[in-house]
C-alpha cells in the first residue's frame, strides 16, 4: 500500500513530522509518501489561508509521483477534501473526518482541541458538512499558533491537557480529537493525563486509508465526486 | 456607491452580462465595477473548479482598483465568500445568500433552479453553512451547462420554467431562486410563466450591498472574519 | 416609493420615533407613512398583547390610505407578518426578519438584545418560523420595559451595550440585532462601544422594502399567503 | 370537573357538535361548557382568519362564566394557545397538541388529515412550536372546506379515509390525527377502514384536561406564560 | 379498567411504592396490578442493567395474569417500551414519555431531575427516540442511587429541589419531570418549593393509560409494532 | 490481534458465514473468534427479538474465552452496542456503525439495503443514536427474511441490486451499506452491478477494530460507558 500524505501548509519541517507520525501508525507493508505544497501559507489559521492551501494541495497531488493507493489530507478543519475526491480515483481521507469517525466509535461525544480560537468555526463547518457534527460537543482552543506548537512541547502538552480537561468536565466530552496535524505526537501523553481516549487525525487517517484500500473501497463517482468536465482553465498555476 | 462585482469564471462575456444585470438593478448613484479573474475555469460546475475559482476571485479583488464600498461574489453556490469577508473591510454579498434572503421575505419556502445536477449538493452545502437551508425545499437542475445558457434563450427559459413549475407543484416551493449568474436576465419571464416570484441573485445582491452601505453596516471583524495574521505565503500567484 | 410603517402598539410617540428612524434610512424618493393601531396595548411585552396587537395592526393596514408599495411591521418578535402577507399584495417586511437577514450577511452568528426576558421565547419562535434561527446564538434581555427605554437614553444605551458585550464574549455573537423598535436610534452608539455591527430592524426593513420594490418582487400568492376565501366575519371590529 | 371548550369559529352548529363530541369522551363527573366567540370568522381556513379567531377566543374565555378547571382550544392548528395559557391559571389544552401527544403514544409516526391544503403550513408551524414536529410525517388535505364537512358525511369519511390511506402507504404514518374539530365524529369509522388508530383532537383534549386536573397540574407561570403586566389597552373590544 | 404496572427492577419494595402512587392517581373504576420482574437488577442505573431489565419486564408481562387494558413501563429512561408495544395489543405507556408529554402541555420547556449522572445520556436518548427531545432543556442528576432515595426522604426532597431550582434558573426550565419512579411521592413537595409544575411519570402514565383506554385507542400495528414473526427462540428463559 | 465476533442470532450456520467474511478481511496477524449466543432468536427481525438478542450477546461475550483485543457486534441495526461498551474494556465495533462510518468516507450520502421493511425503523434509530443519521438518505428493504437470504444467492443479489439502484436513482445515495450480516458476501457483486461502492458491515468492522487496536484506542470510560456499579442481579441467566 502506498499512501500519499499531503501537508496543507508549506512548512517542510511540519511535513516531516506528519510523515513520521503516519509511518508510526502504518502497517508493515505500507509506504508513506509525504508531500508539501509548492506554494501557499506557512501555516493555515484562517479561512482565506485555507482557500490558498486547498489549491496548493490540489497542485501537490497533481504533481506527486504515482501511483498511490490513497490520499490523506493532513490539515485539521481545512478545505479541499471534496475537490481531492473529485480529482483522484483512490480514496481520500481528511484527518478531520478520520479523527471524528474514530472518536464516535470510542464514546458518546467528543471535543476538538485546536490551536487558535479563530479556527474553531471552520472546524465546526467542516464537521457539519461531513455529517459529523452530531456528537461534537465543543471545539476548544489553546491559543497557540500552529508554528509555535513545537517551541516548548511540555507547555503545548500542558495547554492541550488543560483544554481537554475542561472539555470533559464542562462540555461532557468523552473523547478528545487533536485539532491540528502539528499536535500529532502528543496524543498518548494527553490521554494519560486526562483519562480519556485522545485521537490524532494523522494516525487515524492512515488506519482508515489502509482499511479502505484493503476492503477495495473507493470514492463513489456517481454524484458529487464525479470527475470534472474537461474545460479550459485559464492561466492556472496548476498547469505549469 | 461603488460596488465591485466579481464574476467567478474567466469568461469575459459572462462578466459583461452580469455587469449589465447589476447596472439594471442599481440605484442612480451607484457605480458597478465588474471584474473577471485573471485565471481559473471558463465556467464553474464542480467543487474542484469552485476551489480554483475562489482563489482567482481573491486575486481579482486584491488587484481591483479601489476604493469600493461593497463586493459582490457573482457565482451561485460557489466557494469564497468567507475568505472575501476576511480579506476586505467592506461588506461582501454572495449572490447565493442574496437570493435566498430575499426569497425568504417573499414566501414560506423556496427552490433553486440550477444548471447541472452535480452543482446541487454544493449549493445545498453553501446554504447550510450560511444558515439558509431551513426554507429551501429543493434544488432542481435543468441539465444545461453554464456556457450553453445563452445559446438559445427561449429553450433556456423553457427549461427553467419547467423545473420551476415542478418545484412549485411537487416540492411546495413558493418562490424560485435562479441558481446561476448566467440566468439573471430571465427572472421576469419565468415569473410570468410560473406565477411565483423569481429572484435573481445578481440583482438581489446589488440591492443588499446598497442597503448595507446606506445603513453603514460592515462585516463583523471580531471572530471568523477577523483579518488573517500576517504570515509568509510561499510562491503564491496572488503576490505578483 | 411609498412605504407604510405600522407600529405594533398604540403609543403615538413611539410611532413618531419609528417614523423618524425610517425616514433617516429611506432613499430620497421614498415616502414613509407611519400609522398607529386604533386599538391595542400601549406596548407589547407578552404573547397575549402580541395577539391583540396583531389584529390592531391588520385593522390599521386596512384603514391606511393607499396606495403604498410595501408594508413594514414595526414590532420586534411580534405576531402578524403572515396575516399581513395574506392581506395585501405588496411586500411585507417584519423588522425582526429584516434585522436577522442583514445580520446574517455581516457575520457568522448574531444575538438579539431585547427589553424584558419574557419576550425572548416569542422572539426565538418568530425566528424559528421565519427559518432564521440557525445563526441566532442568544436572545438577551436588559430588563427594561418598552415604554421606559426613552426615560434615560444613556442608561438604556449602557444596558444594551452591557448585554451586547456579554453576547459577544459569552455567546460568540459576531453581530447584534436591536430587539425592539424603540431602541432604533441607539445602533451606532452601541456598535461603537461593542465593536461589532449593530443592526436596527426599522432601518433594515426600510432598505429591504425598497429593495423588493425596486426589484419588482412581491409576496408569493400560490400557497400560504394566498388571499383568504371570502367569508362572513361576525361582529368584527375591522369591519367598522 | 368543569371544562370550558372554546370553538375557534362563530358557527354555533359547530360548537354544538364539538360539545357533543367532548361530552361523549368526558368522565361521569365532568361538565363540558362549550362557548362560541362573539365575533370572528364563520370558519378558520387562513392565517389571517386564525389571528381574528384567536382574539375572539380570548374574548370568549374572558366572558365565560367561571369557575372552570381547564380550557380546551377547539381548533386544529389555530393560533392562541400561548395567549390563553398566559390569560388563565387553569391548564389549557389545544386540540392540535392533544391529538399529537396521544398519537405519539400509539405509533412511531403520525400524519394529520386536514381540510384544505392552505391550512397545512399553519398546522406544521403549530406542531413545530409545540415541539411535536419530530414524528409528524405528513399533513394531507382532503380539499373540502370546514363548513362543507357535514354536507355529506359519507363523502367526507371517504375523503378522509383516502387521504389517511395515502399517508399510511406513501408517508409511512402509523397513526392518523383528524385535523379539524369538525371531523371529530368520524374517527372510529376511518380507523376501521384504514386499519390504524385515528385520534380526534377534541376527545383527546378532554381526556388530557381531565388528567391534568386530576393530577393537580397547571400551566407553569415562571416564564413564557407568566401573567401579562397590567397596562392600558386602548379601545379594545375585549373591554366592553 | 385494569392496568398492569411493571416495575423495571427486582426490588419488591419499590414495586409496592409505585403501585401505591399509581393507585393514588387512578380513577375509581381502575384496578392497578403491579408486578416485579422475576429476574434482573435490584435497580437500573446503567445501559447494561437496562438491557437486562427490559427482558425481565417482557418476561413479567408475558407471565402476568390477564386480561389487562394497558401496560405501564415504570422505569424512567429505561429500554423496552417498543418491545412491549410489539408484544401486546393494549396500549403501552412508558413513564418517561408520559411525564414528558404532560410537561409539554404545562410549559415551553422542561427539565428532568434524575438520580445519578450516568443515567442522563440514556434518558436523553429515550426522549430523542420518542420524538420528545425538542423541549427538554436539561437532565440534571442529584447524585443519589435509586435504592438510597428512601433512606432520608427530606434529604432526597432537598436534593431534588436544589437540582430543579438550578434547572429553572440556569437552564430555563418551566416544568420539572421527576426522573425516577422512586421519586414519585415527592412531586407536590418539590413543586411547592420550586414554584413550577412537577410531573411524576407514574401518575402521569396512569392518567394517559386510562385516557387511551377510554378513547378506544391502541398501539398501531401496521409498522414498527406489528407482531413479531413466529420463530424459534433457542433456550430462552422467557419460555420456562 | 484477537477479535471476538458475536453473531446476534442463534443460527450457527450464519455465525460460520460471518466468521468467514471476517477472516477474509482480517490482516495476517489477526485471529477471528466467532461465537453464537447460547439463547435467543434464530434471526433478529423485530425490536422484541433485538432485545432478546442483546442479552444473549452479552451472555456470549461474558462466556467467551479471552483475552481478546476487540469485540464486533455482528448484527445490523441491532441493540446492545452500548451495553457491550460498558461491559468490556476493549473497543466494541457495531457493524452498523462500521458500515456507516466507512460509507461517509466514500460519498456524500449513503443508503442501507435491509431485509424486511419492519427492520428499517430500528436501523434508523440506531443510526440516529450513533450520530450517523445525517448522511443516510434511505433505508430500503428487499422483503426477504434473514434466513432466506442464502436459499438462492442469485435472487438475493438481484434483489439487493434492484433496491440499491433505486436508492441511487431515487434517493440520491452515492454509497450502499448492506443492512444484514447475512448479505456480507455479496458486496462486490452488487457494487459491480450498481456502479457505486458497497460497504459490508462485517468486513468494515474488522478493519476498524484492527485500526483501533493498532492505535491503542479503547472505549472512553468516563461517562456513558463507565463500568456498571456492582449490584445484585436476581436470577439472571448470565450468572450461571
Name the minimum distance, in Å, from the CA of E50 to any CA of chain D: 21
Whole-number Å distance between alpha carbons of D196 and E225: 12
Q: Do A133 and F132 touch (CB under 8 A)?
A: no
Determine the distance in angstroms separating the CA of D130 from the nearest CA of chain C, rounded to an integer: 10
Alpha helices in chain F (DSSP H): 12-25, 47-63, 81-87, 95-106, 120-129, 153-171, 187-194, 201-214
Segment F95-144, tens digit of pLDDT: 999 999 999 999 999 999 999 999 999 999 999 999 999 999 999 999 99
**CB contacts < 8 A (C, D):** 130
* CA dihedral (B69, B125, B192, C93) positive or negative: negative
Shortest alpha-carbon distance between residue D178 and chain E (Å): 14
State phi, psi for F224 to the nearest 5 degrees: -60, -30
- Summarize pLDDT for C119-138 with one digit per residue, the tens: 999 999 999 999 999 999 99
Are residues E233 and F125, on separate chains, in Cβ contact within 8 Å? no
Measured between beta carbons, which residues in chain A are less than 8 angstroms from residue F86? Answer: none
User: How confident is the model over C170-206, as pLDDT tens digits?
Assistant: 999 999 999 999 898 999 999 999 999 999 999 999 9
Look at residue D232 in the predicted model and tell me its pLDDT.
80
* CB contacts < 8 A (A, B): 133
Cis peptide before E201 (omega within 30 of 0): no
Q: Which residues of chain D does E226 touch, with a Cβ-Cβ cutoff of 8 Å? A: none
What does the block give as the cell for D142? Answer: 382532503
CB contact under 8 A, B52 and A236: yes
pLDDT digits (tens, 9 = 90+) for A88-131: 999 999 999 999 999 999 999 999 999 999 999 999 999 999 99
In this complex, the chains that touch E, judged by 3 or more CB pairs closer than 8 A, are D, F
Inter-chain residue contact C224 with D58, CB threshold 8 Å: no
Instruction: List chains touching F (3+ CB pairs under 8 A).
Output: A, E
Between E97, E108, E214, which is nearest D223 by CB? E108
Task: List C233's β-bridge partners, or say none.
Answer: D41
- Per the DSSP assignment, residues forming a β-bridge with D177 are D112, D199
Angle formed by the axes of helices A12-25 and A201-214, nearest 10°: 50
Contact list in B for residue A238 (CB cut-off 8 A) is 52
- Identify residues of F whose CB sits under 8 angstroms from chain E CBs: 10, 37-43, 45-52, 54-55, 58, 79-80, 82-83, 86-87, 118, 121-122, 125, 128-129, 145, 223-224, 226, 228-229, 231-238
Predicted structure pTM score: 0.97
Task: Pick from D205, D217, D218, D223 the residue to mutate for testing the E interface (most E CBs within 10 Å).
Answer: D217
What is the model's pLDDT at position F238? 58
What DSSP string describes C121-182? Answer: HHHHHHHHHTT--TTEEEEEE----GGGTTTTHHHHHHHHHHHHHHHHHHH--SEEEE-SGG
Residue of C nearest to D238 (CA): C52
Q: What distance in Å separates the CA atoms of residue D98 and residue D104, rounded to the nearest whole number?
A: 10
User: Which residues in A lie closer than 8 A to residue F214 (C-beta atoms)?
Assistant: 25, 27, 207
Do A76 and A6 touch, CB atoms closer than 8 A?
Answer: no
Tens-digit pLDDT profile for residues A184-210: 899 999 999 999 999 999 999 999 999
Half-sphere exposure of B13 (CA within 13 A, CB side): 9
Question: How far apart (Å, rounded) are the C-alpha atoms in residues A111 and A102?
Answer: 12
ipTM (interface pTM) = 0.96
- Looking at residue E135, its pLDDT comes to 95
Q: Identify the CA nearest to E55 among candidates E75, E40, E34, E43.
A: E40
Question: How far away is chain D from the Cα of E66, in angstroms, using its nearest Cα?
Answer: 21
Looking at residue E239, its pLDDT comes to 45
Residue to test with chain F: of A30, A222, A225, most F Cβ within 10 A: A222
Interface residues of chain C, partner chain D, Cβ below 8 Å: 10, 37-43, 45-52, 54-55, 58, 79-80, 82-83, 86-87, 118, 121-122, 125, 128-129, 145, 223-224, 226, 228-229, 231-238
Residues of D in contact with C52 (CB under 8 A): 55, 58, 233, 236, 238
Confidence of residue A74 (pLDDT cuts 50, 70, 90): very high
How many Å lie between the alpha carbon of C46 and the closest alpha carbon of chain D? 6
Going across the sheet that includes E110-114, the strands are: E136-141, E110-114, E175-178, E198-200
DSSP assignment of A79-96: S-HHHHHHH-SS-EEEHH
Per the CB < 8 Å rule, is A234 touching B40? Answer: yes
**Structural element, H or E, at residue F68:** none
Query: Distance from CA of residue F26 to its chain's centroid?
Result: 16
Interface residues of chain E, partner chain F, Cβ below 8 Å: 10, 37-43, 45-52, 54-55, 58, 79-80, 82-83, 86-87, 118, 121-122, 125, 128-129, 145, 223-224, 226, 228-229, 231-238
User: Parallel, antiparallel, or unpaired: how do β-strands D70-74 and D40-41 relate?
Assistant: unpaired
For the segment A123-147, what is each residue's pLDDT rounded down to a tens digit?
A: 999 999 999 999 999 999 999 998 8
* Terminal C-alpha separation, chain C: 29
Is E232 in Cβ contact with F42 (below 8 Å)? Answer: yes
Rounded-to-integer distance, Cα F21 and Cα F15, Å: 10
* E132 neighbourhood in chain D, CB within 8 Å: 104, 131, 134
Weakly modelled stretches of chain E, pLDDT under 70? 236-240
Report d(CA E65, CA E70) in Å as an integer.
13
Which ranges of chain D have pLDDT less than 70? 236-240
Question: Which residues on chain B are in Cβ contact (under 8 Å) with C135?
Answer: 131
- Residue contact F51–E80, C-beta within 8 A: yes
Q: Partners for C (CB, 8 Å, 3+ pairs)? A: B, D
Distance separating alpha carbons of residues F8 and F54, to the nearest angstrom: 7
Cβ separation F118–E237 shorter than 8 A: no
C3 grid coordinates = 412605504
CA distance linking residue A68 with residue A70, whole number of Å: 6
Chain C partners within 8 Å of B212 (Cβ): 102, 105-106
User: Is E224 close to D199, i.e. CB distance below 8 A?
Assistant: no
- Residues in chain B whose Cβ is within 8 Å of chain A: 10, 37-43, 45-52, 54-55, 58, 79-80, 82-83, 86-87, 118, 121-122, 125, 128-129, 145, 223-224, 226, 228-229, 231-238
Mutate to test the interface with B, among A11, A231, A240 (most CBs of B within 10 A): A231
**Average pLDDT of the residues in C38-51:** 94
Min Cα distance E174 → chain D (Å) is 6
Dist. CA E114–CA E99, nearest whole Å? 13
- Cell representation of residue E193: 418549593
Per-residue pLDDT of chain F (240 residues; tens, 9 = 90+): 999 999 999 999 999 999 999 999 999 999 999 999 999 999 999 999 999 999 999 999 999 988 999 999 999 999 999 999 999 999 999 999 999 999 999 999 999 999 999 999 999 999 999 999 999 999 999 999 988 998 999 999 999 999 999 999 999 999 999 999 989 899 999 999 999 999 999 999 999 999 999 999 999 999 999 998 788 888 765 544
Closest listed residue to residue C223, CA positions, set D149, D100, B135, D147: B135
Please name the residue of chain F whose CA is at the shortest distance from the CA of residue A168. F222
Is D118 within 8 Å of C226 when comparing Cβ atoms? yes
Cell, residue F160? 439487493
Q: How many angstroms separate the Cα of D119 from the Cα of each of B175, D49, D55, D57, D144?
A: 18, 11, 19, 19, 11
Closest CA to B49 of A72, A53, A58, A93: A58
- F and C touch with 3+ CB pairs <8 Å, answer no
DSSP character for B218?
Answer: -
Provide the β-strand partners of residue C92. Answer: C71
B126 vs B119: CA distance, rounded Å = 11
DSSP D72: E
Q: Which of C25, C207, C222 lies closest to B195 in CB terms? A: C222
Residue of A nearest to B51 (CA): A55
Residue C240, pLDDT above cutoff 80: no
* Alpha-carbon gap, residue B182 to B148, rounded angstroms: 10
Give C151's contacts (C-beta < 8 A, 6+ positions apart): none
Contact indicator for E24, E203 with CB cutoff of 8 Å: yes
How far C28 CA lies from chain D's nearest CA (Å)?
34
Amino acid at each position: 500500500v502506498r499512501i500519499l500524505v499531503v501537508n496543507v501548509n508549506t512548512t517542510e519541517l511540519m511535513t516531516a513530522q506528519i510523515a513520521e507520525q503516519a509511518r508510526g501508525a502504518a502497517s508493515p507493508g505500507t509506504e508513506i509518501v509525504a508531500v508539501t505544497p509548492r506554494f501557499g501559507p506557512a501555516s493555515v489559521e484562517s479561512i482565506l489561508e485555507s482557500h490558498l492551501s486547498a489549491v496548493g494541495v490540489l497542485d501537490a497531488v497533481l504533481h506527486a509521483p504515482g501511483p498511490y493507493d490513497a490520499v490523506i489530507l493532513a490539515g485539521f478543519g481545512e478545505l479541499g477534501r471534496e475537490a481531492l475526491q473529485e480529482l483522484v480515483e483512490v480514496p481520500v481521507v481528511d484527518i478531520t473526518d478520520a479523527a471524528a469517525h474514530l472518536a464516535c466509535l470510542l464514546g458518546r461525544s467528543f471535543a476538538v482541541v485546536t490551536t487558535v480560537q479563530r479556527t474553531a468555526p471552520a472546524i465546526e463547518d467542516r464537521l457539519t458538512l461531513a455529517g459529523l457534527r452530531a456528537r461534537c460537543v465543543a471545539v476548544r482552543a489553546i491559543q497557540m499558533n500552529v508554528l509555535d506548537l513545537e517551541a516548548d512541547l511540555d507547555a503545548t502538552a500542558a495547554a492541550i491537557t488543560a483544554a481537554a480537561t475542561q472539555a470533559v468536565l464542562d462540555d461532557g466530552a468523552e473523547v478528545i480529537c487533536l485539532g491540528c496535524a502539528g499536535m500529532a505526537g502528543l496524543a498518548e501523553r494527553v490521554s494519560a493525563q486526562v483519562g480519556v481516549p485522545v485521537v490524532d487525525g494523522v494516525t487515524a487517517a492512515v488506519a482508515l486509508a489502509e482499511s479502505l484500500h484493503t476492503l477495495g473501497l473507493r470514492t463513489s463517482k456517481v454524484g458529487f465526486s464525479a470527475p470534472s468536465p474537461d474545460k479550459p482553465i485559464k492561466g492556472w498555476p496548476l498547469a505549469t
